Amino acid sequence: MTAAKIFRFKGGFHPEDHKKLSSEHEVKTLGLLPRYTVLLRQNVGAPPEVCVTKGDHVKKGSCIAQPASFVSVPLHSPVAGTVGDLLTVPGPNGSPVEAVEILSDGEDMQEWDDRLEPILDWRDTPANVLKKRILDAGITGMGGAAFPTHVKLSPPPEKPVDTLILNGAECEPYLTSDDVLMRSHARAILTGAAIAAKVLGVTEIFVGIEDNKKEAFNAMEQAAWGISSAAVTVVPLPVKYPQGGEKQLIYALTGRKVIVGALPMDVGCAVLNVGSCYAIWDAVLNGHPLVERITTVTGTPVVHPGNYRILMGTPLSAALEGAGGIRENSDVGKIIFGGPMMGFAQYSLEVPVSKNTSGILLLERSEVAQFYGGPCLSCGRCVEHCPMQLPVSTLSKACESERYDLAKENHVLACLECGVCSSVCPARRPNVQHFRKAKAELKELLQKEKNKKVGK
């Protein structure tokens, strides 16, 4: 291993991390539930198409939906049981979404579907076979965007990738699921990374971990020796939000800049979350599709904050119950899927956990940040801290008056939605909410124009 130079990205800030609440307890597994609702749309791209019918018997890991296109992944049953209804349930981003109901057979010793056989000799297995396994196991990004992993591992020939980056930064306050996974399963994560490196044909693997996770760093460094034919370098990164943003991470570890509108592959990089690498190991070495994950359930209102192994399709209410429920006298002001900076507020306790549910965070009403939309003071703090160096105050005013043409000219589409500009704003302007809305409007407009062109 060689020492890596670290490049410091501009902007960002240091929020209180609140990680101790959940990081110091052992990972627990939630008990079996009678019923799961598995969301169909769990990945970026096309949702898969259901391939089972009501009354079918399924094993744990049986395929229940097939990919609908190249940018799509299959879905699998989290438990053995019977297929129930195709339902509409509340989704994590607030809109109703389709889900497949699975009624558990109640057996604690769940038998896995054995259609995906373990590939123990993965080092001698062709790259295309390994990539197919990653697709067949339904693996997506598990840190946030849920981008299908097999697509990340398929750069076109004109964009060769030479570097694989493992994202173990976990810079969002409160979240510790990646930290505990690295502490307890470093070798499995790095084996998954070695498999991904083989698929990509890269010669260099960097693992970026924020410097506040010493135990995880040591575990990953120890496990890195001899694990891959690619050179593996585990790098401690400065603690600064959003260090785990894809663009910021690539810059920090390689000095390569991903410009507005470009992708990591445009600078020869592929970035995978450590959870996705663990899922690759499980899919290849054990033949298990992605049906569960470690999720941080935390916040001062939670009786037993910690990290929990949770099956996909588990309702938020059951995950909370598994963590001991809510403390008496708590006045919960907000429930968030993800962290406080980039997560989404939830309005129903029936929202199911899915592949990218890194955390379930409860905040007391007194802890919830309030944004009033007061007039901009032109203080420039947002511009100074924006990790994308965007003209934030200009953008904020343009979006507020729904001048989305101006917002587009000022690169709103490059906004990471990291929330830094809202957090540092003395006027408590809801900047990031404005930008989310503007981006959604502009994307819809773009889609309409595309449809017009192809005569839809």
**Which residues of the shown chain bind ligand SF4 in the complex (CB under 6 A)?**
376-382, 386-388, 390, 392-393, 396, 415-421, 425-427, 429, 431-432, 435
How near is the Cβ of 395 to ligand SF4 at its closest, in Å?
6
| Closer of 47 and 244 to ligand SF4 (Cβ) | 244
| Closer of 65 and 388 to ligand SF4 (Cβ) | 388
What is the C-alpha to C-alpha distance for residues 241 and 19, in angstroms, rounded to an integer?
14
272 pairs with which residues across the strands?
A: 166
Long-range pairs of 84-89 with CB within 8 A, sequence gap ≥ 24: 84/35, 84/54, 85/54, 86/50, 86/54, 87/37, 89/37, 89/39, 89/350, 89/351, 89/352
How near is the Cβ of 361 to ligand SF4 at its closest, in Å?
19
| Closer of 351 and 432 to ligand SF4 (Cβ) | 432
How near is the Cβ of 422 to ligand SF4 at its closest, in Å?
7
How near is the Cβ of 168 to ligand SF4 at its closest, in Å?
21
How near is the Cβ of 167 to ligand SF4 at its closest, in Å?
17
How near is the Cβ of 378 to ligand SF4 at its closest, in Å?
5
| Closer of 67 and 430 to ligand SF4 (Cβ) | 430
The burial of 337, by beta-carbon neighbours within 10 Å (0-12 exposed, 13-18 middle, 19 or more buried), is given as: buried
| Closer of 239 and 326 to ligand SF4 (Cβ) | 239
| Closer of 170 and 204 to ligand SF4 (Cβ) | 170
30 phi-psi bin (left φ>0, alpha ψ -120 to 50, beta other):
beta
> In a 3-state reduction of DSSP, which class is residue 148?
strand
Q: b vs e for 377-409, b when ≥16 Cβ sit within 10 Å of the residue's Cβ?
A: eeeebbbebbbbebbbbebbbbbbeeebebbbe
- Beta carbons of 241 and 418 less than 8 angstroms apart: yes
